Amino acid sequence: MDGEGFGVPDNGDFGQLLRRLRQDAGLTIESLAEKSGVSARGIGNLERGERTVPQRRTVAALADGLGLDAAERDRLLSAARAGRARRSNGDNAVGPGALPREVDDFTGREAELARLSDMAWQLESERGSGQQPVIVLSGAPGVGKTTLALRAVRELAPRFPDGQLLVNLQGMDDDPPHWSELMLRILKTLGLSDSELAKAGPQGHPELYRRALAERRLLLVLDNGRDEAQVRPLLPGTGDGMALVTSRRMLAGLGGVQRMQVGALRPRDSRDLLAGLVGVERAAAEAEALAEVAELCGHLPLALRVAGNWLATRTGWEVRRLADRLAAEEQRLDALAVDDPRLTAAFDVSYRQLTPEAARMFRRLALVEGPDMGTACAATLIGRPVFDAEDILEELVEAGLLVGSGTDRYAFHDLLRVYARTRLDVDESGSEATDAKAAMHRWLLETTVVAGRWYEPAHGAPSPAWRGNVDLSDSDKARDWLKAEGVNWLGALRAAAAAGDHTTVVEVAEALHWFSDQWVFWGHWPTVFSLAAESAQALSDPLWEATHLNYHAWALLLCESRHQDSLVRSAQALAAAERCGSLEQQAWSHFYRGWALRLIDDFEAAVHHNKVAAQLFEAVGDIHGSIQAVSASANIFVRAQRPAEATVEVQRALDALHAAGDAVEPHIRHFTLANLHAAAGVAHIQLRRWDEAIEHSGAACELSRASGNTATESINVVNLGIALLEAGRVSEARDAFTRCLELGADANPDYAVKAREHLAKLQQ
């Protein structure tokens, strides 16, 4: 584009007023030129309407030369401003070329537009206070940055009476225009004459540019910026205007700007956009399929438009047919690009601009199974140190091809992940990808073992010989890493099992045994321990088989409430333990059987198996097992509504825990204390001893919270709420139930339901 084609604004009103004021003052054009310092030719052009609207300093000089009073000066300034408004709103020629037509079916973005509006209002209230605000809108290819900017221009236009000026910086072109070329076009658009530009020379254009923007209340949109070097010289300085910059890059090197990351549409807005393209009746008839199409498009506006237009031209097709085609990930981009190559073309442009190392990282991140990954995980994919990998990841974030969370986690947009996988297939050999994935899986499983062992008796901190690239210097860091990379190391564990690496599978699961209590409702423990049990059986090792069958019995019991299936697994574990003569695993088998029997209210059998477990634990000197057995006894009596006996067992367990001293690891001590106080709290609720119930349930809450065990905290905080409610402390009870819901997905789902029920009753 160039500066040609701009309509000349109708400047008749200003010119006629200027001529009348000059004649009323008894001045000729020449004499006014002498008094004002404005050239006679310029005044003549203004009066005849042949020159574009004058800059403010020119109007002020003319007003001084005419000797106007305040009212007449304001009238002349208003006429000039009205001319600028006609220029901006009348023919829409507000950039190097006409303002692009806004999409007719603009959908969503209420929050983004509200923020832009708030900033404009703030600008208006602080007019004349200094630098013009600059907002950088950045985001992935196809996310709708320009569309959002155009809607913002429309909504904010009344606040900028000197017009709106949109400039396409063509940043994604192979050879985008230099900032000096763009600046010259803008200056011409703003009405500076060729003679003024020639007189200043290229070296003077930046000063003219800053002055021209400072004199106007103008909304400047710099669209599709390539990088800081292109954008920085075009930013305004002081004045009452405002600038929007759109770019796929974050333009992190620009200082003094405000930023807005433009993400995918909300699911509801995605469905509305598709419905507008395919027709409301058709969308309503296949609402479920339409929602799937929106999901498979990753709620990316460009992909949604491609899919919607595709359906709109195939009126005989059911929406389900497209949803099924998009469901095959390896064909998704091809399906969207059949009639419209814009989507893959948009991705291609950004990919081609990456450095070789960033392009390699981008491709290989598609090998990660989970929704996101940490820097250390990404580093293993390209065999680089963590600090180097972080720089490369940030390059991808800056390019709009990756999203950073600010907490060392990075994620793809769904369609960009698919695109990265296609680039991996094209740009790397199969062996390179296989080797990279294998290296990542080895690292994930090795780190999982080291992190998990923080929670295993007789292990704790990593060995001094361990040279990992993750900070696992304390148990909290280990827990955080295991949770953050959970889906990724689970994928690696599945791959190891599929490859027949049974020793590794068993080793990983063994390292996670005690940690699993810290993250009970993750949802994948049955898979972890089922894989380990199968691997132990494949190794023909009855001790490992008994151990991991017991772990699986626990997972089925506590994580999925499959009590009968758990009883089957613990029976299998007992048989294996008897074959190898392991009293310890026999004890754990009886322990889990007693637990399952308690939950199906077979209390006599539960007491029997728990008693056998306690005897076996004592026989082998297993302090941890012995204390857990006494704690389980208390829980049996609580469940059986025998609270007096439960409090006796709680005290027995507390005494045993105290006597064990340092033989019990701190995190196991905290976990056990929390469970014991929880049991005591419920027992005292049953005894209607509200003060004691509040004391014990409160202690259980604090211990769970301190150890980061969200699952047990959610149980304890509901019991605390019940005790507070019965004690007449309604406000505190409401806070307790609310706290349970605030714990989120890691809370016990059954107790979250109880919390909602209690809150609903309190609102009645």
> Per-domain residue ranges for the chain?
12-90, 110-261, 267-340, 356-428, 432-540, 622-764
CA angle in degrees (0–180, nearest 5) for 587-592-594: 95
Query: How far is the C-alpha of 346 from the C-alpha of 335, rounded, in Å?
Result: 16
At 338, is the pLDDT very low, low, confident or very high (cuts 50, 70, 90)?
low
Query: What is the model's pLDDT at position 630?
Result: 93
Please list, in sequence order, all residues whose beta carbon lies within 8 angstroms of the beta carbon of residue 762, skipping any fewer than 6 positions away: 730, 733, 734, 737
In 3D space, the residue among 704, 709, 677 whose CA is nearest the CA of residue 692 turns out to be 677
Q: What residue type is 357 in one-letter code?
A: E
Summarised one tens digit per residue, pLDDT across range 573-619 is 999 999 999 999 999 999 999 999 999 999 999 999 999 999 999 99
Distance of CA 459 to the CA centre of its chain: 35
d(CA 397, CA 16): 55
Average pLDDT value for the chain: 86
The pLDDT > 90 percentage for the chain reads 43
The long-range contacts involving 751-758, CB below 8 angstroms and separated by at least 24 positions, are: 751/714, 751/715, 751/718, 752/714, 754/718, 755/714, 755/717, 755/718, 755/721, 758/718, 758/721, 758/722, 758/725, 758/733
Q: Would you state the pLDDT for residue 662? A: 85
Domain 12-90 has CATH 1.10.260.40: yes
For the record, the structure tokens of 297 come out as 């498009």
For residue 10, pLDDT over 80 is answered with: no
Q: What is the DSSP string of 522-549?
A: GS-HHHHHHHHHHHHHHTT-HHHHHHHH
Q: Are 415 and 300 in contact (CB under 8 A)?
A: yes
Rounded-to-integer distance, Cα 420 and Cα 436, Å: 15
372 in helix, strand or coil? strand
The residue ranges of DSSP E strands in 468-609, in sequence order, are none
Q: What is the pLDDT of residues 126-162, one digit of tens each?
A: 555 567 888 898 888 888 888 888 888 888 887 787 7
What CATH number has the domain spanning 356-428?
1.10.10.10
CB of 556 closer than 8 Å to CB of 526: yes
Task: Indicate the pLDDT class of residue 2, thresholds 50, 70 and 90.
Answer: very low
How confident is the model over 367-382, as a mean pLDDT? 94
Quote the tokens at residue 242: 């405002």
| pLDDT score at 301 | 86
CATH H superfamily, domain 622-764: Tetratricopeptide repeat domain (1.25.40.10)
Q: How far is CA 91 from the centre of its chain?
A: 41
Residues 446-464 have pLDDT tens digits of 999 999 999 988 788 888 8
| Confidence label for 218 from pLDDT (cuts 50, 70 and 90) | confident
**Rounded to 5 degrees, what angle do the CA atoms 710, 716, 718 make?**
105
CA distance 88 to 235: 20
Residue 403, SS3? strand
Q: 87, 53 in Cβ contact below 8 A?
A: yes
**pLDDT tier at 82, thresholds 50, 70, 90:** low
* Topology of the domain covering 110-261: Rossmann fold (3.40.50)
Residue 74 has pLDDT above 80, yes or no: no
Least confident of 310-319, 334-343, 727-736: 334-343
pLDDT of residue 153: 85
Segment 242-266 shows an average pLDDT of 87
Task: Kindly tell me if the per-residue pLDDT of 190 is higher than 90.
Answer: no
- Residue 95 confidence class, pLDDT cut points 50, 70, 90: very low
Is residue 187's pLDDT more than 50? yes
* pLDDT at residue 746 tops 90: no
Q: Which amino acid is at 430?
A: G
Concatenating the DSSP letter of every residue in 323-369 gives HHHHHSHHHHHHHHHSS-THHHHHHHHHHHTS-HHHHHHHHHGGG--
Strand runs (DSSP E) across 526-664, as ranges? Answer: none
Asked if pLDDT for residue 480 goes beyond 90, the answer is: yes
Rounded distance between C-alpha atoms, residue 711 and residue 515, angstroms: 13
- Of 493 and 177, which is predicted with more confidence? 493
